A and B are shown apart, each in its own frame.
Chain A
Amino acid sequence: MNRRGGRGELLHVEGSMEADKYVYPPGVLGSEAAKALAEGKLTGIRCGEKLIVPPRPYCPDHSKGELVEVRGPWIVESFTIVYEDMYGNMLETPQVIAVLRHEDAEGSIVHFLKAEKPRVGMRTRPVFKSPEERNGTLGDILYFEPAEQASKK
């Protein structure tokens, strides 16, 4: 029995899985957090004793949390250095991506870190775009940079 499909190479057909674009609304709590971000404030939610970042619409026990401002400093918990973009092209300047923790909060945020010598435990603060450029997304923060206290150490 001839189980081979035939002579020669297999054919391929080009295609894609695309839409013109996706538009993601921020959600109910997210739109409050977005407004705060546009004002240069990072937020979290308070669930009883716990403070959780980034804010989410519900606490771990499924109850509703309260949105509160969370001020720094943000401490580097982990970081990585990225050399390629998402399509595999080399970046001109390698980018440091850091997991940033808050002393009083559970959870962490992920963002760019601009530091000469990134290290775990480094205390950082966000650098925002100018107010008129902000749109309430995480891109309103350009990057995190070492806080002054950190540079003293």
Chain B
Amino acid sequence: MRTNVHVKKRVAIVGAGLTLFARRLLETPAELAWEAASRALGSAGLALKDIDCVVIGSAVDGFDGVHMKGEHIADGAGGLLRPTVRVAMGGGTGVMVPIAAWWHVASGLCKTVLAVGEEKMSHAYPHPQAVFAYIWHPILERPLGPNLIWIFALEMAWYMRECKASKEDIALVSVKNKRNALDNPHAQAAANITVEDVLKSETLVWPVQLLDISPVSDGAAALVLADESVARRITDTPVWIEGVGFALDSSFWYNRDLSYPRYVEQAARMAYKMAGIERPWKEIDIAEPHDPFDYKELHNLEGLMLARKCEAPRLLKEGHFERSGELPTSPSGGLLGMGNPIAASGLMKTAELFWQLRYEAGARQVKKAVHKAVASSWGGLMQTSTVIVLSR
């Protein structure tokens, strides 16, 4: 079965745009949204008057420091007097934005959608970590004084033990992604580093060290989606959205085995089924898995069934995930190399695949021919997965 939902209109991505990702940008949240949206519209050869509907994504109000953040940035995102909606799925928001934009078009409700993700994490002092403190359960968890990184450290340690993966094995993700980012002019944390550098960086919460984590950032990203009739008219190289999937696991994260993300698999199976993909490890040519932490890329790749359980570290070592490899992953530089303005960085991953599938990624273009691609965002208390499958 090719599809498990009734899709009225085939949906294409026809434009993409990004701002710079940086620790602190002068632009207001609305200005960031406007810059990315204008860039995306320009690349599609469209103007705002051509847009029917707007989908906004931002993860957390507390970063920008305004409630109703969607409403605050709506003008900048092109939402003025249009059907406009915001999606918020924590770290999973990035890919949820094109997913929500997709159903606006697939349902026949809108012919064109502007999809904008924005996060401004520099407003909160002394550090955005102060805001992350409020993701924890106020009664069961917060009294222990946890830092966001604790939960990742607990999961990473579990994954390392279960899969017999070493810190060295995992650090290779950071090395690869930061190196890939050297070719990305939008990147915040591009660098030529070694495994040694990662292992020597400050230990924050063992096993997590400074260079295992993507930096916090300001930034925005935008896509333009259109139905087939519009897409065929305005471009020769539409990129089709073939499948979407999303799933949530329980917020009782210490009641389940964290070494394998079953909710990622669930979301991936939904997207692959819709896309008619039966053997993703063979059929997918290129991937942008969520990589806020280096181990998380491997964890997500296994959940996405692009590697067997515990197999990703070995494939990484063998060069499988390099730009020149069998299955290039995070060719954009990922969050580790690009920086992590949460909703924007997830959307950026979809934008990167759009450019890769159109052979427009320039110095970042992967060696192999690419036909099918998958991007994922991940978030919550080890809970959320959002997956999108694209083809050219």
- Is B truly associated with A? yes
CA distance A58 to B74 in the complex (A): 12
Cβ-based interface call for B6 (8 A): no
A60–chain B nearest beta-carbon distance, Å: 6
Tell me, yes or no, whether B282 is within 8 Å of chain A by CB: no
Interface string of A111-124 (1 = CB under 8 A from B): 00000000000000
Partner of A20, one of B24, B41, B78, B126: B126
**A-facing residues in B39-72 (Cβ within 8 Å):** 41, 47-49, 62, 65
Among B47, B76, B122, B134, the residue within 8 A (CB) of A58 is B76
Q: Does B131 contact A (CB under 8 A)?
A: yes
Known contacts: A17-B134, A23-B123. The answer to whether A61 contacts B28 by CB under 8 A is no
Question: Does B214 belong to the interface (CB within 8 Å)?
Answer: no
How far in angstroms is the closest Cβ of chain B from A86?
14
Instruction: Decide yes or no whether B130 CB sits under 8 A from chain A.
Output: yes
Q: Does A22 contact B (CB under 8 A)?
A: yes
Tell me the bound Cα distance from A94 to B81 in angstroms.
36
Q: Is B142 touching A15 in the complex (CB atoms < 8 A)?
A: yes
Docked CA distance A61–B47 (Å): 8
For the complex, give the distance between the alpha carbons of A28 and B20 in Å. 14
Q: How far is the CA of A57 from the CA of B78 in the complex (A)?
A: 13
Q: A15-B138, A20-B126, A22-B65 given as contacts; is B47 within 8 A of A62 (CB)? A: yes
**Is the CB–CB distance between A57 and B123 below 8 Å?**
no
How far does the alpha carbon of A19 sit from the alpha carbon of B121 in the complex, in Å? 12
> With A27-B26, A31-B26 in contact, is A58–B75 under 8 Å at CB?
yes
Q: Are A19 and B28 in contact (CB under 8 A)?
A: no
Given A13-B139, A62-B41, A62-B47, residue A21 in contact with residue B125 (CB < 8 A) = yes
A60 to B49 CA separation, bound complex (whole angstroms): 10
Contact B34 A57 (CB under 8 A): yes
State A45–B219 Cα separation when bound (angstroms). 25
Is B348 in contact with chain A by the CB < 8 A criterion? Answer: no
Q: Which of B28, B124, B143 contacts A57 (CB 8 A)?
A: B28
With contacts A19-B131, A22-B123 known, is A28 near B47, CB below 8 A?
Answer: no
B28's partner among A17, A22, A25, A62 (CB-CB below 8 A) is: A25
CA distance A58 to B77 in the complex (A): 11
What are the residues of chain A within 8 A of B38 when measuring CB–CB? 58, 62
Q: Are A27 and B31 in contact (CB under 8 A)?
A: yes
- Interface size of A by CB at 8 A reads 23
Task: Knowing A19-B124, A19-B131, A62-B41, say if A24 contacts B30 (CB, 8 Å).
Answer: no
- Report chain A residues within 8 Å CB of B62: 17, 19
Query: Measured between alpha carbons, how far is A17 from B34 in the docked complex, in Å?
Result: 29
Residues of B within 8 A of A26 (CB): 26, 28
A91 vs B57: C-alpha distance in the bound complex, in angstroms? 39
Min CB–CB distance B205 → chain A (angstroms): 20
Q: By the criterion CB–CB under 8 Å, are B123 and A24 in contact?
A: yes
Q: Is the CB of A60 within 8 A of B80?
A: yes
Query: Is the beta-carbon distance between B41 and A22 smaller than 8 angstroms?
Result: no
Indicate if A29 sits at the interface (CB-CB under 8 A): yes
Does A28 contact B31, Cβ atoms closer than 8 Å?
Answer: yes
User: Counting CB contacts under 8 A, is A46 at the interface?
Assistant: no
Interface check A56, CB cutoff 8 A: yes
Binary per-residue interface labels of chain A (100-119) against chain B in the complex, 1 for a CB within 8 Å, 0 otherwise: 00000000000000000000
A29 with B31: in contact, given A13-B138, A19-B62, A62-B47 (CB under 8 Å)?
yes
Q: Is residue A54 contacting chain B, with contact meaning CB distance below 8 A? A: no
Does B37 sit at the interface, judged by CB under 8 A? yes
Residues of A within 8 A of B134 (CB): 17
Does A72 reach chain B (CB closer than 8 Å)? Answer: no
CB of A73 within 8 A of chain B?
no
Closest CB in chain A relative to B142 CB, distance in Å: 7
Partner of A62, one of B26, B27, B37, B142: B37
Residues of chain B touching chain A, judged by Cβ–Cβ distance below 8 Å, are 24-28, 30-31, 34, 37-38, 41, 47-49, 62, 65, 75-76, 78, 80, 122-126, 130-131, 134, 138-139, 142-143
Return 30 A-B CB contacts under 8 Å, by A number. Answer: A13-B139, A15-B138, A15-B142, A17-B134, A19-B125, A19-B130, A19-B131, A20-B125, A21-B125, A22-B123, A22-B125, A25-B24, A25-B28, A26-B26, A27-B26, A27-B28, A27-B30, A28-B26, A28-B27, A56-B30, A57-B28, A58-B34, A58-B76, A61-B47, A61-B49, A62-B38, A62-B41, A62-B47, A62-B48, A62-B78
| A residues neighboring B (CB under 8 Å) | 13, 15, 17-31, 56-58, 60-62
